[in-house]
Structure 1
Amino acid sequence: MSNEKQYDSALDLLRRLSPRDTSLNLNRITTLVPDLTEDLLSSVDQPLDVRRCAKSGRDYLLCDYNRDGDSHRSPWSNEFDPPIDDGTLPSERIRKIEIAANEAFDVYRGLYYEGGVGSTYFWDLENDEFAGVVLLKKAVSPGSKSSAAWDSIHVFETSERGVRASHYKLTSTVILHLANETDALGQMNLSGNMTRQVEADMTVEDDASHVANIGRLVEDMELKMRNLLQEVYFGKAKDVVGDLRSIPSLTEANKDKASHRDMIRSMNR
């Protein structure tokens, strides 16, 4: 089988398996087919891992965008762990914007997530343009019978549109996992991911404007995706579960239906 067919088959397999186990399944596939490692790591979104920066003592998130070989760069110290000599670093200008973005999104994380971990990484493109990723993660009781995790991955690119404008292309992915186990309800595992994309032209006064513009795009996208998950996906899941299984006993349910019918008949007299 050619590498292209193997790659397509691997992607198709990962799409059919639980997003909760993406990292584990990805590791198994790359163990079987090592030649696909770089391509799969750069194209498959997986739940974010957390690591502590040894220099700053602050947590940061790991992804393919701050990875160089087996090392990951901390946004706080701009150093790789484990240390490497030839790791790819952003230019001085882009690093300054990256620092400002991390400070801004740290405030955003505190306001919207009330905890969790956030990291922002930038890298240089051609013609003084740049791209980056905003990562946000909030986990509750990981590993227990009741657990939940929200991972947001916002990848963006910028390109100039005249003297005082830039074009932004944002691709956002949310990975959601919910699990609960009780004696009354048994086991429940709900996992999935959603990807949306938006493009916009926005005014730019200076480099600080990029941080504000990216922040506005990420904020709007997260609100839209959260509302979509709550209204469409969770609403539909609630309807399906409600039709399949009810918490009250069958006797109580029948009594409620009978009372409802009696009320309707009395109103029609």
Structure 2
Amino acid sequence: MYGIIHSIDSFSTVDGPGIRTVVFMQGCHLRCKYCQNPDAWKLGSPSARKYEAEELIEIIKRGKPYFDASRGGVTFSGGEPLLQAEFLKQILSFCQEEKIHTAIDTSLYVKSDTVLKIIPYTDLFLADIKHMHPEKSRLLTGFYNLLNLENLKIISAHGVPLWIRYVVLPGYTDDPRDIENMAYFIKNLATVERIDLLPYHTLGRHKWSMLGIDYELEEISPPSSQLLQKIKEIIISICEKPVYI
């Protein structure tokens, strides 16, 4: 069995606890307007390559001394790693046997059967909430948010820790009513450990032009520190979870 991998970062400190190897898996069916890796959308991209399971496992094993020293591990990101669920399950199972902490950075816009298949082998989900409003989710990503929200409930019901990630995009995801609805939703997820507010940035914009894709956010600036602080205060006041910017 092989997986299609976009890239591998062997020393990350921002994709879960401790020092981590991050495996960016190729393929994503969402078309988020702010995506910084549009080159990871298509499975057949020339920038990706195939890895046999054993080859990827060997790369992950090299980081074990750093994982053990920092309480780190391996994070599977993307793209959307759950689109390659069978390959992912094989690698996660090995990590579990080797007592390597596993995290999946995912949008959760996939069938719940896929999530249930992966849950037993996953120690942490770094899960996006793209938008709480169904129609606004469709406009932002190309898809309604029913699967995303339902899968968050399933993960929490199975007792797996969640870190919620929310991109703050002025004019799209900063409506106070939507923030309040998200905070009330998160409040009912028992396993949420933290919420990360991710300010919109333009670092990946050049990739859109390189790929010949229209970038619709040319006139949008990153959110101000005042806006981020306001959103943080709304969330904390409702769900009383740690919020990081």
- State TM-score, norm by structure 1: 0.27
Larger Rg: 1
The structure richer in strand per residue is 1
- State TM-score, norm by structure 2: 0.29
